[in-house]
Chains A and B, each alone.
Chain A
Amino acid sequence: STISKAESSYIQVGLCSDPALRPDGRALTDFRAVSLETGTAPLANGSARLSIGRNPHDGSGGTEVLAATKLEVETIEDGGEDKGRVVCTVTCSPAAYPQLSNNALEDLQHDLTTIVHTTLSHPSLHPENLKIIPGKKSWLLNLDLVILSDAGNVYDALFMAARAALYDTKVPRTRFVEYKAKKRGPAGGAGEGMDVDDTATEGTSGFDTRQRKHAMDFELLDYWDEGEPLDGRQRWPLCVTLNLVPGAHFLDATLVEEAVAAVRVLVIYAFEAPHVPVVQGMRMLGPGEVTSSQLKTLLKDAEAHARNIFAGLDAKLKEEDVRRNQKASESFEQR
């Protein structure tokens, strides 16, 4: 958003002063209230709805992101890969950016999609259980994020919602189904007038003694079972946006605060084990500059912030798990 020089200077002076003052009274590293609900799209394999800074009384304002994962079966001929694929897309609802033209909206969508997709589809984060039949079929995981409203800090919201939806995703269990041609013989009733698929024996010579698997298809183990959780659900990264003003950095900026920050540094952290932080990605947005020594301290700060966000989000995700699975089965048993 565009703000006047007077307002920009007013906010900047407040941020650089000691103690730092923000327009809504928060500390520099305070987040607005984050609310999360999983399982909001029952037709999807995993879904989440996350909002930052939504007014609890009338539900207005705030940054709101919907995330949903859908699994599709993909054949190798159609561009699939043995180990499966992860594709992320971000859509901006025109209601979230009412002042942008359609072209500007497409550009913004493209930028956001690129950042999210290149980070989350990286091989280091690839889940193990997206295989179905090696060489033939695999799962394509489509992660769709929709921004319903934007009140600042949209990158953090996108990655949090993505992590929540991926954490919630269940992959259906499959098994191979082998088709073998029936042997023709005088006793076999199938011999007369019935076409038996001979492709299984085509192209093999009598000297070929290899055991060839004829797994052509797969089936679901249980139609009603949602499946097993997506592998690597602890690994999905989170983004910390550090907004920089001379001498300080602050988190979770509102739209006006984002306009004041000369440069924003996005650091995307993953925690494979509780004490092993991995930087999965980093971006700099804005016309400002950062020195390399500044960057070093910023990375350390971002790691500390990321740990806090992880802890909070994980606690909520576990709570949601309990609410949806345990409590649901408990109430079912009580009937």
Chain B
Amino acid sequence: MGSRIEILNEAGFRSDGRRQYELRDLTIDLSRHGEADGSALISHGLTQVLVSVHGPREAKMRSHTFHDRANINVEVVVASFSTGERRKRMRGDKRVLEFASTIKSTFEPVVKTSLYPRSQIDIYVQVLQQDGSTLQACINATTLALINAGIPMNDFVCAVTGGVHSTSPMLDLSTLEENDIPHVTVAVMPKTKKVVLVTMETRLHVERFEEILNLARDAGKILHQEMKEAVLSRASSLVAMGEPITKGQKADDDVIMD
């Protein structure tokens, strides 16, 4: 590779052609996957995550239940071919377990678990492709899957990654940017404006930190709009499917037999 890749050039463009605060292409697919109660397939650019939710249902292990609320169980599987370099992750991989426990602690205060004592809510996260901001994608997909499953929550949880390149803050980082600049993942509840998760593994100057935190909260609101729209369109298509068809009116998949 010849030229050096600039994280942010003088014209204000990033390495993939985006502007500083621009988020990647977001696609949300809420169609039902397998036998899950709720599922969501989300992609932020090239990062793709599929989350399936089963529950609330009877717990597999009685010892893991609580008498007054539901137990949330999160399992994360990262596909070996998800990154540029093949990396086989065993089930008990510490990194993956930490990931799962981060997601669990993010959703525990948000899901109304007290409505389902002694039961279990299983969240299965399957990371299909990784191009940066994996945790962001997992949290957004989990929110949508839980909503799709009809599990009551206090609010949406919208996550976004923010990073700072010398003094310029940026949002929704790709792998190239994540490897280069300090970054933080922030998950917010847009209506109540509360922050549910802040996680950072790099070092960032404290003056930059507040700036990026506020930016990430605003970005969370934008994501909330997109997610709400996706949920509404899914709900309206479900309602439309349930409506009785008047005689003689042809729907998309009907075959007229003589």
B1 CB, nearest partner CB in chain A, Å: 8
Contact B91 A106 (CB under 8 A): yes
Contact B86 A93 (CB under 8 A): no
Q: Which of A272-297 contact B (CB under 8 A)?
A: none
Chain A residues, CB < 8 A from B215: none
Q: Which of B36-75 contact A (CB under 8 A)?
A: 36, 39, 46, 50, 52, 54, 60, 75
Q: Which of A206-230 contact B (CB under 8 A)?
A: 223
> Closest residue of chain B to A49, judged by CB?
B128
Task: Verify if A241 is at the interface (C-beta below 8 Å from B).
Answer: no
Q: A62 CA to B32 CA in the complex, in Å?
A: 11
Q: A141 CA to B189 CA in the complex, in Å?
A: 44
Contact A149 B77 (CB under 8 A): no
**Which residue of B31, B34, B86 is within 8 Å of A149 (Cβ)?**
B34
Task: Verify if B79 is at the interface (C-beta below 8 Å from A).
Answer: yes
Q: A69 CA to B196 CA in the complex, in Å?
A: 38
Task: Verify if B126 is at the interface (C-beta below 8 Å from A).
Answer: yes
Interface size on B, residues (CB 8 A): 31
Main secondary structure of the interface of B (DSSP, over half): loop
Contact A43 B84 (CB under 8 A): yes
Q: A42 CA to B80 CA in the complex, in Å?
A: 13
Main secondary structure of the interface of A (DSSP, over half): loop
B216 CB, nearest partner CB in chain A, Å: 27
Q: Which of B236-255 contact A (CB under 8 A)?
A: 253
Q: A61 CA to B128 CA in the complex, in Å?
A: 19
Task: Verify if B81 is at the interface (C-beta below 8 Å from A).
Answer: yes
Q: A93 CA to B129 CA in the complex, in Å?
A: 15
Contact A57 B126 (CB under 8 A): no
Interface string of B83-107 (1 = CB under 8 A from A): 1101010010000000000000000
Interface string of A21-65 (1 = CB under 8 A from B): 000000000000000000001111001000000001111111010
Q: How many A-B residue pairs have CB under 8 A?
A: 94
Contact A59 B84 (CB under 8 A): no
Contact B79 A95 (CB under 8 A): no
A277 CB, nearest partner CB in chain B, Å: 31
Q: A44 CA to B39 CA in the complex, in Å?
A: 25
Interface centre among B81, B83, B253 (most CB of A within 10 A): B81
Contact A43 B91 (CB under 8 A): no
Contact B33 A94 (CB under 8 A): no
Interface centre among B29, B75, B79 (most CB of A within 10 A): B79
16 pairs across A/B with beta carbons < 8 Å? A58-B31, A59-B33, A60-B35, A61-B34, A61-B35, A64-B34, A68-B80, A70-B86, A93-B77, A93-B126, A95-B36, A96-B34, A98-B122, A142-B80, A149-B34, A149-B35
- Besides A93-B124, A95-B36, 8 other A-B contacts (C-beta < 8 A): A58-B31, A60-B35, A66-B128, A94-B75, A95-B50, A95-B52, A96-B34, A151-B34
B-contacting residues of A (Cβ < 8 Å)? 41-44, 47, 56-62, 64, 66, 68-70, 72, 89, 91, 93-96, 98-99, 101-102, 106, 142, 144, 146, 148-151, 223
